[in-house]
C-alpha cells in the first residue's frame, strides 16, 4: 500500500498537468459551441489556474521535480494559451497579432533559457526573469479577461484590447531584449575566458 501511495504521489503532479490539458480542451470546446455563456468558462478557467498552481507545488513538496515534469508543465501552459487565443481570434474578439506576440515570447524564452541556464543556479531547465514572469501571468489571464469583458463591459474590453495588450507587448520586448543582451554578454565573456586560458 505504501509503495502504491508513493507511486501515486510521484505521478500526481504530471496527472494534474494532464488535467490542465483536458480542461483547456473543454474550455475552448464549450466557448466554440456556447459563445457568450460566462459562468462555466469562468469555473473551468479557475480550475486551470488551480492545476497550474498545484502541480508544481506538489512536485516540489514531495521532491518529485523532473525534467519531464518541467517541460510538460510549460507545454500544457502553451497548449492552453494557444488554443484559447485561436478560439478567441476566430470570434474576432482578440487580435491575431497578439497570438504571434505570445508565440514569439515563448520561443525566445525557451531559446534564451538554454543559453542562460548554465550560469544560473537551480534545477529548473528554464530561466525566468522578473518582467517575463509578469508577462507570463498576463498571457495566462488574457483569454478569460478578453472573453469576460467582451460580455460584461465594453469599457473594460476597449481598455484590454487597445491599451493593456500594448502594455504587455512593450513588456515582452523589454524582457526579450534584456534576455538576449544577457545571452550576448555571456557569449562574449565565455570567448574572452577561453582566449585567456588559451
Query: What is the per-residue pLDDT across 14-58, written as a single tens digit (0 to 9) for each?
Result: 999 999 999 999 999 999 999 999 999 999 999 999 999 998 888
Taking the C-alpha atoms of residue 29 and residue 33, their distance in angstroms, rounded to an integer, is 6
Binned at pLDDT 50, 70 and 90, residue 109 comes out as very high
Category of 36 on φ-ψ map: left (φ > 0), alpha (ψ -120 to 50) or beta: left
Asked if residue 43 lies in contact with residue 19, where contact means CB atoms within 8 angstroms, the answer is no
Segment 7-21, tens digit of pLDDT: 666 788 899 999 999
Q: List the CATH code of the domain at 2-197.
A: 1.20.120
Taking the C-alpha atoms of residue 162 and residue 133, their distance in angstroms, rounded to an integer, is 22
Category of 127 on φ-ψ map: left (φ > 0), alpha (ψ -120 to 50) or beta: beta
Asked if residue 149 lies in contact with residue 157, where contact means CB atoms within 8 angstroms, the answer is yes
Taking the C-alpha atoms of residue 8 and residue 10, their distance in angstroms, rounded to an integer, is 5
**Mean pLDDT (whole number) for 183-193:** 75
Asked if residue 72 lies in contact with residue 14, where contact means CB atoms within 8 angstroms, the answer is yes
Residue bearing cell 501511495: 5
Q: What is the pTM of this model?
A: 0.88
Taking the C-alpha atoms of residue 46 and residue 120, their distance in angstroms, rounded to an integer, is 33
Taking the C-alpha atoms of residue 67 and residue 149, their distance in angstroms, rounded to an integer, is 37
Amino acid at each position: 500500500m505504501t509503495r502504491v501511495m508513493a507511486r501515486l504521489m510521484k505521478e500526481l503532479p504530471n496527472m494534474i498537468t494532464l488535467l490542465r490539458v483536458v480542461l483547456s480542451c473543454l474550455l475552448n470546446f464549450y466557448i466554440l459551441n456556447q459563445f457568450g455563456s460566462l459562468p462555466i468558462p469562468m469555473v473551468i478557467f479557475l480550475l486551470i489556474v488551480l492545476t497550474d498552481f498545484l502541480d508544481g507545488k506538489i512536485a516540489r513538496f514531495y521532491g518529485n521535480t523532473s525534467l519531464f515534469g518541467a517541460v510538460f508543465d510549460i507545454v500544457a501552459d502553451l497548449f492552453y494559451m494557444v488554443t484559447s487565443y485561436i478560439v478567441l481570434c476566430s470570434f474576432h474578439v482578440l487580435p491575431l497579432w497578439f497570438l504571434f506576440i505570445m508565440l514569439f515570447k515563448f520561443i525566445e524564452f525557451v531559446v534564451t533559457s538554454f543559453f542562460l541556464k548554465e550560469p544560473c543556479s537551480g534545477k529548473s531547465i528554464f530561466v525566468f526573469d522578473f518582467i517575463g514572469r509578469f508577462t507570463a501571468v498576463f498571457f495566462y489571464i488574457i483569454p478569460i479577461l478578453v472573453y469576460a469583458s467582451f460580455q460584461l463591459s465594453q469599457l473594460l474590453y476597449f481598455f484590454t484590447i487597445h491599451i493593456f495588450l500594448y502594455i504587455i507587448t512593450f513588456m515582452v520586448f523589454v524582457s526579450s531584449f534584456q534576455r538576449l543582451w544577457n545571452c550576448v554578454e555571456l557569449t562574449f565573456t565565455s570567448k574572452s575566458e577561453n582566449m585567456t586560458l588559451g
